[in-house]
A and B are shown apart, each in its own frame.
Chain A
Amino acid sequence: MVKISITVDGERHEDEVEPRLLLVHYLRERLGKVGTVVGCDTSNCGACTVHLDGNSVKACSVLAVQADGGDVTTIEGLANGEWHPVQAAFKECHGLQCGYCTPGMIMAAVDLLANNPAPSEDEIREGLEGNLCRCTGYQNIVKAVQLAAEGGAR
């Protein structure tokens, strides 16, 4: 067991964990942060995407111990009083259907816009390549990211 200290959605947690525990399982099963989900076992789907120290990471590909000392934001901590513009844009543009990919997709999109505030359609499509959605065909996800980039759906 290893002692870790992680800030998640603004709250600090001290825990003892097995070294092999994945960050996503730590979030879901130890902290009850079940808004972040798991969609694969090969780091392909991006459903588990969260921000670690401001950058998007696939939480199934990070060990909890690697996040020691880090600052994690999940979909549950993204809204700050009111929804993040990307969350609002996903609803406005119908960028989700079943919603399973949505937490990861939104976290990836927020990171994408942080790095490139005015992306082209191709840049959005390539930027979200690591996040799979089986429902939407991506068109409305792309629209949502464009809308958020233009100043949002508020």
Chain B
Amino acid sequence: MTDTAERVTRESSVGRPLRRKEDARLVTGRTSWTDNLSAPGMLHMAILRSPMAHARITRVDVSAALAQPGVVAAFSGADLADKLGSMPCVWPVTDDIVMPAHPPLAHEEVRYVGDAVAVVIAGDRYQAADALEAIEIDYEPLPPVLDMEAALAEGSPLVHADAGTNACYTWKLATGDFEQVRAKADRVMKRRYVNQRLIPMPMEPRAVLAAPTGPDGELTLWSSTQIPHIVRVLLALTTGIPENKLRIVAPDVGGGFGSKLQFYPEEVIATVVAAKIGRPVKWVESRSENAQATHHGRDQIQNLEIAATNEGKILGLKVDLLADMGAYLMIITPGTPLLGAFMFNGIYKMEAYDFTCTGVFTTKMSTDAYRGAGRPEATFAIERLMDDLAAELGVDPLELRRQNWIEANEFPYSTVGGMTYDSGNYEAATARATELFGYDALRAEQQRRRDAKDPVQLGIGISTFTEMCGLAPSRVLSSLKYVAGGWEHATIRVLPTGVVEVVTGTSPHGQGHVTAWSQIAADALGVDPDDITVIYGDTAQAPYGMDTYGSRSLVVGGMAVLQAAERVVEKAKLVAGHMLEADPADLEFRDGAFTVKGAPGSAKTIQEVAFEAFTAHDLPDGVEPTLHASSTMDPQTFSFPHGTHLCAVEVDTETGMTKIRSYVCVDDIGNVINPMIVEGQVHGGLAQGIAQALWEEAVYDDAGNLVTGSLVDYLVPSAADLPSFTTDRTVTPSTTNPLGVKGVGEAGTIASTPAVVNAVVDALRPFGVTDVQMPCTPERVWRAIHGDGSGGDRAAEGSIAWAGDRTESTAGGRTEGDETGARP
């Protein structure tokens, strides 16, 4: 009814803002979220969670719960220990990494507030929740471990006593000789930035429904997950249920942002319990549980040194990270910070790079991928450093960037981080962004307001970011010790009646793959996008896939769709040649029809060919019936989108309040399939990145309680908090795939955080401020102005959640002077 405005021609569906095919059911409430589903005889599961950050479980008695109304079963961790196995981590980043056991239902020790300890299965969710209260459980408290630096100190209490240390691993990467460039540099600027812990908070909390479906142990698991295919493999390995008896379905999924790129204890527990009692079992996460027990993101302390000449040439960068793993290693917990390891150098040329990351266990929820996963942290570090270095050198921060970035004519460029950037044009994106932003006029206004000592100061922040998309070439993953590959699969079937099915291994949850894949296939096959159905998210229907995360879906999955479509056309050509009594080599395929070159009267449409291939009455020798083809695409390398983001903030120096006045970004993500979807991805990404800069922080108190455990305390921004963004694009096609695409899902999040913080700090530079710790709350800004030039001594001070004696886990925020400067 509404998409007629953009009715596309056959030739060019790609590149058009086609309205989404997904939307009809979403705007009318005809949805299939996991919690909407039910199965005959279904029971509800509720989970008892640890109120202690660290404790030994000395007694669990579920018998009183069993006597509650409606209760069918109740289990402690010990009851199920032999069936549940241990949760897997698939990225053991070093040979000597400490990989502790991770029971889905704790039975000896709990290691974070929210650790699951017992379950109740009852007739409805109210009965299940009530019965939890009847479970008796005794804990013997153990000391919590909350501060990464303290956790590594001699004599610290241990999260995993048998490991003998809280250090999980140390991973290094070095190019060139940093010590040498440090020695020859005019200046070495040191900084210590804190990239705080975040909670992903997709609007749909997680949910699972496990249903035994056959007499031989067959079981279907519906789960609000980004990764049904990976869940299937891991569930088989964890529970011992043969993989070919497991079907995993990701129905409508209400956002993920990495938090549903996970294999969760609840998936295992529901499966095992449903199999044990022989009835379908549903579990739906509350928002509070989501805050406590769905993985968190970020949480790094970054010790940085950048070496440069007095003329502003960057010579080298040293990065020393502490990365909070939380209590256990979930699927890619240890690898997540390393996704940034190759990107700290950003878009800049330098001689030497020295990277070290130490993973640290604490008694908190595990961290893992959250939108950007490692790359926002890297981008934050380098872009904050560039602004600070410019301030030290007394030059314009854009000029300093220009002086050091890779120039358009230098691509492909092998960086000091060990990556080969395929293409880019930082000059063009920056020129467009400064024009849209009115950079010079804003700088002039800033000077006037500084001179006038305006109580509301104007700050301008810059972020010229790049990121790594298209996870991932399987051989690269292998070299990084990741246990799986990074390919993606697609199958295309042209059905006898001429309509098309695209089967994809990606698993969309808001990204619009149904529309975008239809556009790609429509162009390649010469059919109408409305004649295409996209099938996904069900291992029975789309059996091969590596799912959706890391801005990979288009670059890898979309390419698989294109390649499968091309193979369909190749096969169809053989059949068409036979039908037209022509040599297939003499055929042309355009607008969905084959014609003999030079004989335009003859034509067979792809639909006619499909019917011919279906009847199979008269196929050429060696051609099998039906018209379908598959592609399993393993990318050869990554792609590197980039962009220039500019943020202007007004900071009220009397109240500390920051208001975004304008935000301009010009992203270069190569070619685009659907510009409307791309713009939406950028908007949403910006909102999350800005939220890290200004509002969001997961705060634990000194007893290890999560004090930002609901949407009351954890400040996901509303419409009233955010401005309208000015977005634009430049187009430098990727050279690593025929579509020329680069990936956009994470760009806005990666780029925006440092742009905003740079703007806040820029506003405060006249006050001698060099850093404000994120989130830049009014209190922290005020303290920075009135205090000692830092954002407060300890981390949580001035955080949005006051937590009494606070955790020191993200302690820091105090910046150091230059090499010679003493730490305050």
Residues of A within 8 A of B (CB): 18, 20-21, 25, 28-29, 33-42, 44-45, 47, 74-76, 78-79, 82-83, 87-88, 90-92, 94, 96-103, 106, 121, 124-126, 128-142, 153-154
Contacts and interface: CB of A to CB of B under 8 A. Distances in A.
B725 A139 contact: yes
B37 to A, nearest CB: 9
B201 A134 contact: yes
Contacts of A87: 27-28
Most B CB within 10 A of own CB, among A91, A92, A128, A141: A91
B719 A37 contact: no
Given A37-B204, A88-B2, A142-B724, A103 B29 contact: yes
Interface stretch (B626-634, B677-685, B771-779): B677-685
Contacts of B19: 91-92, 94
A102 B683 CA distance: 16
Given A34-B36, A44-B711, A136-B684, A128 B719 contact: yes
A96 B201 contact: no
A142 B677 CA distance: 16
Interface stretch (B49-57, B137-145, B160-168, B508-516): B508-516
B723 to A, nearest CB: 9
Given A87-B27, A131-B719, 5 more contacts: A97-B681, A132-B711, A136-B684, A137-B748, A138-B687
A44 B684 contact: no
Given A92-B19, A99-B510, A39 B205 contact: yes
B722 A99 contact: no
Interface in B20-50: 20, 22-24, 26-31, 33, 35-36
Contact of A99 (B22, B681, B748): B22
A136 B27 contact: no
B212 interface: no
Given A82-B1, A140-B683, A40 B711 contact: yes
Contact of B255 (A34, A42, A97): A97
B719 A141 contact: yes
Interface string B277-302: 00000000011100000000000000
B452 interface: no
Interface in B238-272: 252-255, 257
Interface residues of B, number: 60
Nearest to A86: B27
Contact of B712 (A44, A98, A130, A141): A44
Given A97-B255, A103-B29, A106-B27, A133 B203 contact: yes
Interface of B: 1-3, 5, 19-20, 22-24, 26-31, 33, 35-36, 124-126, 201-205, 252-255, 257, 286-288, 509-512, 676-677, 679-681, 683-688, 710-712, 716, 718-720, 722, 724-725, 748
Given A40-B710, A129-B720, A75 B29 contact: yes
Contacts of B681: 97
Given A34-B33, A100-B33, A136-B680, A18 B126 contact: yes
A99 B26 contact: yes
Question: Shortest 4 CB-CB distances between A and B: which pairs?
Answer: A35-B29, A100-B254, A99-B26, A98-B510
Residue from A90, A100, A136 having most chain B Cβ neighbours under 10 A: A100
B27 A40 contact: no
Contacts of B2: 83, 88, 91-92, 153-154
Contact of B204 (A39, A88, A91): A39
Nearest to A103: B29
Contact of B718 (A34, A88, A129, A153): A129
A34 B38 CA distance: 11
Nearest to A93: B676
